[in-house]
Structure 1
């Protein structure tokens, strides 16, 4: 009637209630109110993390009102207007109660709701008093209601006012147990396993998958909080709880259950990838800066921009929407959380670092800070425990430890630092030679996450890690392991040119990347291409890539592939190879010139793909001699897209397009007027790269 109530897309203990409109029919309002009460009744036999008695009493209060509501609807076709005020207040109160019950039963939020027991009890008191206040204004004299129903409502009002809704004793004990364990963490004392079990069993967390949901939920809560002065304490407390549950997941839970434990993608993950496959990467670019949006916000007109870009626009005195030109009556910026999550998922899938410049100092998952002392010490204990398992455990114990490292290393930079300091890198590298395909995959996936932390990369190279990683890339037990290995090489090569050279010196490194790209799977191609691009930062690797036969493979991808990101990566590699004369010769030999012209002329590639395509043609023109330029001059379809790049491309793309246009014009003028020397010296174009 008013809206679909669904708590899955909101944060806990927030109550976005909607007030019924003034023109709503009382009959409609009554029907919606009864529907709400029925929804609340469905929680009657549900397990509650805490406030069990308070929740049952609130549900009973609602159920006692149902006969009264049915009687009003069935026996009073024409209700007086004063009834609407009472029913509207009840409707708002029932919405809030439903939200509260959803939070108390939400999967993953059990520990958080236990620790909020006092606040939750207070919310139940507010709801109870609100019900009594709403019924106070009901005009019994003007509405046909049975004497029994009226007496029942008056009794209910009295009970609602007098109900205490206090924190329950068992909840208090459980909260004290959690605080005691957090205090032990702070004092670097490993808590008793029995104490941990008592707490998590009290909140109904008995399996690994349930514990994992708690960790993920708390991680999400921390991600939404800021680190300003007002919220530092809250972030610290949430971090402590997350440390508590992470410790329980790794140390207390004996068996990994659920889909994630079997290394399968969850439904949510599959759905995310399906969504991403239907979205163009250009949709994630800010219309102002043409860069990937880190903090997308929506303005009054419904258009979305990156927060930093639109703020600069507004601060410059512009009071209009940049896309529509419409004057803004409000400069309120509404965070586009759905788009932000999609951008994060896109970056994760494509191996793009997601450094949120607008919130860099506020997002605890992006810093080396632990969030709290308890979280810090808990994570150090967990890291040491897992390293011991890999070093001294049996086969399955090693695999389980590598799996937990894989999960923890995704959580935050701080977790990565703890694992690295505990000595995980050499142990994981040794595990890569395991014949257990699951252990090998978990180990290389953990190393991939750790490779995003600068200190781990040197350790990988110093501990003969390149040989192990290339070994997995070449003959990994699973294709997923080979894909992860390629991604590790990308981070190693892109962070340090010397690391890239050492990778290139491994005989099987580049040939294995080529075989991975030839596999044809999207993830294989993507990881193989970005790893190869990272290697090209070292000049020696360009010749190695050419010798290994990468050029024909890349050109074939341009001819046959329909994936924008794969085409873009292939063009980026070819453009880099073309910067060398031998690279240009290899590309021209395979007949790639016309392929590049066709891509640019069709405008089918992404914005970045077009930029790389222009860069490729510019390099081929400068290094390929007059025959190449003469060939391009004959292509009438080329100039339109090049001029479009001047206005629609990125700043770098615009400069490259301008340089190529001048090269073509220069050649045309020299040919027309018989000049032997170029009008514009070649050196003038080099600096625009």
Structure 2
């Protein structure tokens, strides 16, 4: 029989002791066996792995070693009395808590967080070691005196535990934590802290490279986003977490000259900054990076208590559905805690960059959490990020062509790219610091990595209204269009198209007007739709859709834009996407239908679509097979525009297609929405044309004969 063992309660905060239930109704033998396993795990920890409170953590590990020797000694003696259950059960509870506490203290990426919470850790450690000492004191005398060695070991455990229960933070820890708070106060006042103070703090916790600094910032970012996703905006720790993130960003930007990898020293040269930023080179199978639940590439890998890694959204859905076991191993999840797998995330990011792949879109919950970072949590965080942004812009502006400057620009553009990726406030600080004009200037850099990082940075900044305005005011639209054409790397060309998408979809109508005025803009997007990889095609489709959509408010401008798209061969490219189904990328076909619907609103666009006879039949097949309501709506809008511009001949042609009427009646039966209105209009038009020509009635499905379609005047 196994003892009841809860390692943590759901939602347990790091460095907080979990609510562990004591063992009940269990015999001493199985309880002792489980206790031996627990204590062996604690005593086997490396005391040098703790970034702070080294003395107290080392004492705890040493006491666990003595306790293990005691338990092994009594396990070899005669059967334990039932009266020993109370003391052993208390030891079991205390050891579980000690294991959690030490695991948190040694967690990768959490060194600075542990340092700043050294007082809390010391308090929790005092409580746990006091519990160990109390448990030893309540053991029956005959258990502790099972042998001379057992009696001596029991006395040592009790004495050392009571002595260690007075643990306090190390003096060096206190000085380092005070220095951090002092630098945060300087950030708050807009002052630049002493670099040597920052180096002293990093050295105290063993952060000796760019990678380790980035790992610490990633851990704090995960903590911040987790609390925001759970709606804990009022959490008192958010101000400290944000301040520490700003401190680490400042240190990463200012103190380290090179971007090193996880396993390489900081001074090592990097052939590929993109790979270095991920910290590893992946040569294995992509299958190892797929979430075991969805079998899709993970976007936010996390590790559960059994050691298995899943995508965060997938494992959260699994747990919320009532499943409390690990999907892979079948073991019961003793903890609901999800630990970010930073190594896996870095490898996945590297893989995506190398294969021109695309992350799955973040969940609404995560997107809402990102939206909450529009303002810094505290003036210290705000001041630190502003200082880092100003430093980066000064590096971007250095352009004398020397090799040193190229390296500085490479690191600076990569830091801007990383800084603007997930935090709205960071984007605002970079825009205010004047980063956009210098990033536009670096689009023409002969260094492919600098160019790629500059485009990706502009993409991140274009998600901010001020970033879009700064880009247009600096005359950057033409440069971005050129990047779609001639950027050295496919990733850069795809990101440049995505910049146009954000300008066309989120910007004002003037932005779209400016894009459409650039002679190469629409032909460039059409070319990328034809020749690009999946992500490039996707970005080109949505960008061109945004340009045409915002031009539709002005009939003359809309006609000109559609004419440019038709002249560039957009209809033929889109027809290919629809008719081929785009292989395993059905979303491209849906996007192509939506764009065709926009083009067909103009007579010239409708004529170009009708010039491809097989396309009309393909659209009817798409309408019947499409599972997306928006896809059906766009398809019906496209068919309605073709009928409106093509006249009764086109209506009659569609009426002869046997698959069309069932699909239209099904859409009408669903009711509501513009799609159903357009479907009713099409049905009525087909019946009108057939009645006028006195042709045989159009065949209807048996189940739809009772449907009466009221005539609706539809205006596109």
TM-score range normalised by the length of the shorter chain: 0.7 to 0.9
> 2: CA distance between counterparts of 1:624 and 1:21?
80
> 2: CA distance between counterparts of 1:335 and 1:73?
33
1:221-249: CA deviation from partner (whole Å, max 9, x where unpaired):
22233598983542111111111111000
Q: 1:575 aligns with which of 597, 607, 610?
A: 597
* Aligned equivalent of 2:179: 177
* Aligned equivalent of 2:112: 111
User: In 2 relative to 1, CA 500–266 (structure 1 residues): closer, same or farther, beyond 3 Å?
Assistant: farther
Matched, 1:505 2:536: no
User: In 2 relative to 1, CA 73–613 (structure 1 residues): closer, same or farther, beyond 3 Å?
Assistant: farther
User: In 2 relative to 1, CA 302–65 (structure 1 residues): closer, same or farther, beyond 3 Å?
Assistant: closer
> 1: CA distance between counterparts of 2:189 and 2:540?
46
> 2: CA distance between counterparts of 1:192 and 1:509?
48
Residue 197 of structure 2: SS of its match in structure 1? helix
> Number of paired residues?
631
- Map 1:124-523 to 2 at 5 A: 124-141=125-142, 145-163=146-164, 164-226=166-228, 231=234, 233-258=236-261, 262-264=273-275, 274-275=290-291, 278=295, 302=322, 349=358, 363=369, 366-392=372-398, 394-494=405-505, 495-523=507-535
* Aligned equivalent of 2:303: none
> 1: CA distance between counterparts of 2:617 and 2:189?
68
Residues 108, 213 of structure 1: 8 Å contact kept:
yes
Q: Where does the alignment leave 5 or more consecutive residues of structure 2 unmatched?
A: 263-269, 299-312, 324-335, 400-404, 552-557, 696-707
Q: 2:547 aligns with which of 525, 535, 546?
A: 535
Matched, 1:659 2:662: no
* Aligned equivalent of 1:615: 637
Residues 441, 481 of structure 1: 8 Å contact kept:
yes
Residues 622, 682 of structure 1: 8 Å contact kept:
no
* Aligned equivalent of 2:33: 31
Residues 652, 690 of structure 2: 8 Å contact kept:
no
> 2: CA distance between counterparts of 1:425 and 1:619?
41
> 2: CA distance between counterparts of 1:132 and 1:647?
74
Stretch deviating more after TM superposition (17-26 or 65-74): 17-26
1:381-418: CA deviation from partner (whole Å, max 9, x where unpaired):
11111111111252221222111111111141211111
> 2: CA distance between counterparts of 1:593 and 1:23?
74
Q: Once the 2 structures are TM-superposed, how far is the Cα of residue 133 of structure 1 from its aligned partner?
A: 3.0
User: In 2 relative to 1, CA 18–611 (structure 1 residues): closer, same or farther, beyond 3 Å?
Assistant: farther
Q: Once the 2 structures are TM-superposed, how far is the Cα of residue 14 of structure 1 from its aligned partner?
A: 4.0
> 2: CA distance between counterparts of 1:3 and 1:658?
60
Stretch deviating more after TM superposition (22-31 or 608-617): 22-31
Residues 28, 85 of structure 2: 8 Å contact kept:
yes
> 1: CA distance between counterparts of 2:337 and 2:508?
36
1:259-279: CA deviation from partner (whole Å, max 9, x where unpaired):
797213568997898449846
> 2: CA distance between counterparts of 1:587 and 1:28?
76
- Map 1:603-682 to 2 at 5 A: 603=626, 605-645=627-667, 652=673, 655-668=674-687, 671-672=690-691
> 2: CA distance between counterparts of 1:497 and 1:680?
38
> 1: CA distance between counterparts of 2:649 and 2:34?
77
> 1: CA distance between counterparts of 2:678 and 2:491?
42
* Aligned equivalent of 1:564: 586
Residues 364, 370 of structure 1: 8 Å contact kept:
no
* Aligned equivalent of 2:56: 54
Residue 437 of structure 2: SS of its match in structure 1? helix
Residues 474, 508 of structure 1: 8 Å contact kept:
no
Matched, 1:597 2:620: yes
Residues 188, 377 of structure 1: 8 Å contact kept:
yes
User: In 2 relative to 1, CA 674–572 (structure 1 residues): closer, same or farther, beyond 3 Å?
Assistant: closer
1:150-176: CA deviation from partner (whole Å, max 9, x where unpaired):
342244224323430111111111111
* Aligned equivalent of 1:546: 566
Residue 397 of structure 2: SS of its match in structure 1? helix
Residues 223, 365 of structure 1: 8 Å contact kept:
no
Residues 594, 634 of structure 2: 8 Å contact kept:
yes
Residues 185, 377 of structure 1: 8 Å contact kept:
yes
Q: Once the 2 structures are TM-superposed, how far is the Cα of residue 467 of structure 1 from its aligned partner?
A: 1.5
Stretch deviating more after TM superposition (589-598 or 243-252): 589-598
Residues 518, 525 of structure 1: 8 Å contact kept:
yes
Q: Where does the alignment leave 5 or more consecutive residues of structure 1 unmatched?
A: 282-292, 304-333
Stretch deviating more after TM superposition (127-136 or 658-667): 658-667
* Aligned equivalent of 1:70: 72
TM-score, normalised by the number of residues in structure 1 = 0.81
> 1: CA distance between counterparts of 2:611 and 2:134?
85
Residues 261, 280 of structure 2: 8 Å contact kept:
no
Tell me how large the CA RMSD over aligned residues is.
4.0
User: In 2 relative to 1, CA 401–301 (structure 1 residues): closer, same or farther, beyond 3 Å?
Assistant: closer
1:58-93: CA deviation from partner (whole Å, max 9, x where unpaired):
1112111112222344445x5444444433333332
Stretch deviating more after TM superposition (44-53 or 133-142): 133-142
Residues 376, 382 of structure 2: 8 Å contact kept:
yes
Residues 526, 540 of structure 2: 8 Å contact kept:
yes
> 1: CA distance between counterparts of 2:455 and 2:233?
40
